[in-house]
Chain A
Amino acid sequence: MEIEVVLYGKLRERGERSDDTTGSIGSVKIEIEEDSCITDIMGLLEIKKDEVSHIFLNREYSDIERKVEDGDRLALFPRDMALLYKWYFTKKK
Chain B
Amino acid sequence: MTQKILRVDMGKGTLNYEDVPEKYRRLGGRALTSKMISDEVPPNAHPLGPNNKLIFAPGIVTGTGSPNSGRISAGAKSPLTGGIKESNAGTPFAKTLAQKGIKALVIEGKAKKDKYYILKLGNDGEELVEADDYLGMGLYKAYDKLHEEFGDNIEITGVGIAGELGAANAGISYTDPEGMSSRYSGRGGLGAVMASRGIKFIVIEEPEEDKIEIKDKETFDKGRKKLAKALSEHDVTKKGGALYSYGTSVLINIINESGGLPQRNFSEGSDDRSAQVSGERKAEEIKKRGGVRPHKCSPSCIIRCSEIWTKEDGKDPVGVLEYESVWALGPNCGIYDLDVIGELNRACNDLGMDTIEAGNTIAVAMEGGLLDFGDGEGALKLMDEIYNKTALGRILANGAEYTGRAFGVDRIPTVKGQAMPAYDPRPIKGIGVTYATSPMGADHTAGYAIAPEIMGVGGEADPFDIKKGELSKSLQRATAAIDSAGYCLFIAFAILDIEEGLEGVVDTVNGVLGTDYSIEDVMNFGKQVLETEREFNKRAGFSKEDDRLPEFMIKEELPPHNVVFDVPDEELDSVWED
Q: Would you give the shortest CB distance from B490 to chain A, in whole angstroms?
A: 10
Known: A23-B281, A24-B284, A56-B257. A84 touches B455 (CB 8 A): yes
Does residue B273 face the partner (Cβ distance < 8 Å to A)? Answer: yes
Of A39-47, A64-72, A85-93, the one with at least 4 CB within 8 A of chain B: A85-93
Are the CB atoms of B270 and A23 closer together than 8 Å?
A: no
Known: A25-B275, A61-B463, A85-B497. A80 touches B245 (CB 8 A): yes
Which residues from B are CB-within-8-Å of A8? 253-254, 257, 280
Q: Which one of A23, A56, A82, A90 lies within 8 Å of B258 (CB-CB)?
A: A56
Are the CB atoms of A83 and B454 closer together than 8 Å?
A: yes
Are the CB atoms of A77 and B254 closer together than 8 Å?
A: yes
Does residue A81 face the partner (Cβ distance < 8 Å to B)? Answer: yes
Q: Type the 1/0 row for A1-26, where 1 means its CB is closer than 8 Å to any CB of B.
A: 00000101100000000000111110
Most buried by A among B246, B250, B459, B460: B250
Which residues from A are CB-within-8-Å of B561? 59
Q: Would you give the shortest CB distance from A33 to chain B, in whole angstroms?
A: 25
Are the CB atoms of A83 and B254 closer together than 8 Å?
A: yes
Please name the residue on chain A nearest to B451 by beta carbon.
A83
Are the CB atoms of A90 and B461 closer together than 8 Å?
A: yes
Known: A22-B272, A23-B281. A81 touches B246 (CB 8 A): yes
Q: Would you give the shortest CB distance from B513 to chain A, in whole angstroms?
A: 32
Are the CB atoms of B258 and A80 closer together than 8 Å?
A: no
Q: State which residues 241-265 of B face A: CB under 8 Å.
A: 241-242, 245-246, 250-251, 253-254, 257-259
Most buried by A among B246, B278, B284: B278
Are the CB atoms of A59 and B270 closer together than 8 Å?
A: yes
Q: Which one of B251, B270, B273, B493 lies within 8 Å of A21 (CB-CB)?
A: B273
Please name the residue on chain A nearest to B270 by beta carbon.
A59
Number of A-B contacts (CB under 8 A): 95
Are the CB atoms of A59 and B235 closer together than 8 Å?
A: no
A88 to B452, CA, bound (A): 10
Q: Would you give the shortest CB distance from A56 to chain B, in whole angstroms?
A: 5
Q: Which one of B253, B258, B275, B280 lies within 8 Å of A59 (CB-CB)?
A: B258
Are the CB atoms of B281 and A24 closer together than 8 Å?
A: yes
Which residues from A are CB-within-8-Å of B235? 53, 79, 82, 84-85
Q: Type the 1/0 row for B218-243, where 1 means its CB is closer than 8 Å to any CB of A.
A: 00000000000000001110001110
Q: Which one of B245, B250, B460 lies within 8 Å of A89 (CB-CB)?
A: B460
A75 to B454, CA, bound (A): 14
Which residues from A are CB-within-8-Å of B462? 90
Count of residues in A whose CB is under 8 Å from the partner chain: 26
Does residue B267 face the partner (Cβ distance < 8 Å to A)? Answer: no
Are the CB atoms of B276 and A23 closer together than 8 Å?
A: yes
Are the CB atoms of B280 and A9 closer together than 8 Å?
A: yes
Please name the residue on chain A nearest to B276 by beta carbon.
A23
Which residues from A are CB-within-8-Å of B242? 80-83
A5 to B278, CA, bound (A): 18
Please name the residue on chain B nearest to A84 by beta carbon.
B456
Known: A23-B275, A24-B275, A25-B275. A80 touches B240 (CB 8 A): yes
Which residues from B are CB-within-8-Å of A6? 257
Are the CB atoms of B454 and A23 closer together than 8 Å?
A: no
Q: Which one of B241, B280, B284, B461 lies within 8 Å of A82 (CB-CB)?
A: B241
Which residues from B are CB-within-8-Å of A59? 257-259, 270, 560-561
Please name the residue on chain A nearest to B274 by beta carbon.
A23
Are the CB atoms of A83 and B455 closer together than 8 Å?
A: yes
Please name the residue on chain B nearest to A80 by beta carbon.
B245
Q: Would you give the shortest CB distance from A16 to chain B, in whole angstroms?
A: 15
Please name the residue on chain A nearest to B465 by beta carbon.
A90
Are the CB atoms of B236 and A82 closer together than 8 Å?
A: yes
Known: A8-B253, A23-B281. A86 touches B275 (CB 8 A): no
Does residue B457 face the partner (Cβ distance < 8 Å to A)? Answer: yes
Q: Would you give the shortest CB distance from B502 to chain A, in whole angstroms?
A: 16
A61 to B493, CA, bound (A): 19
Q: Would you give the shortest CB distance from A23 to chain B, in whole angstroms?
A: 4
Which residues from A are CB-within-8-Å of B451? 83
Q: Type the 1/0 row for A26-50, where 1 means its CB is closer than 8 Å to any CB of B.
A: 0000000000000000000000000
Which residues from A are CB-within-8-Å of B275? 22-25
Please name the residue on chain A nearest to B560 by beta carbon.
A59
Q: Would you give the shortest CB distance from B239 to chain A, in whole angstroms?
A: 11
Q: Which one of B258, B280, B456 lies within 8 Å of A88 (CB-CB)?
A: B456
Which residues from A are CB-within-8-Å of B270? 59
Which residues from A are CB-within-8-Å of B280? 8-9, 23-24, 81
Contact sample, A vs B, 27 pairs, CB 8 Å cutoff: A8-B253, A21-B273, A23-B275, A24-B280, A24-B284, A25-B278, A53-B235, A54-B254, A54-B454, A54-B455, A54-B456, A59-B257, A59-B270, A59-B560, A59-B561, A79-B235, A80-B242, A81-B246, A82-B236, A82-B242, A83-B242, A83-B250, A83-B457, A84-B456, A88-B456, A88-B460, A89-B459
> Which 5 A-B residue pairings sit nearest by Cβ, starting from the closest?
A89-B456, A84-B456, A83-B455, A85-B235, A23-B275
Q: B residues touching A (Cβ–Cβ < 8 Å)?
A: 234-236, 240-242, 245-246, 250-251, 253-254, 257-259, 270, 272-273, 275-276, 278, 280-281, 284, 451-452, 454-457, 459-463, 493, 497, 560-561
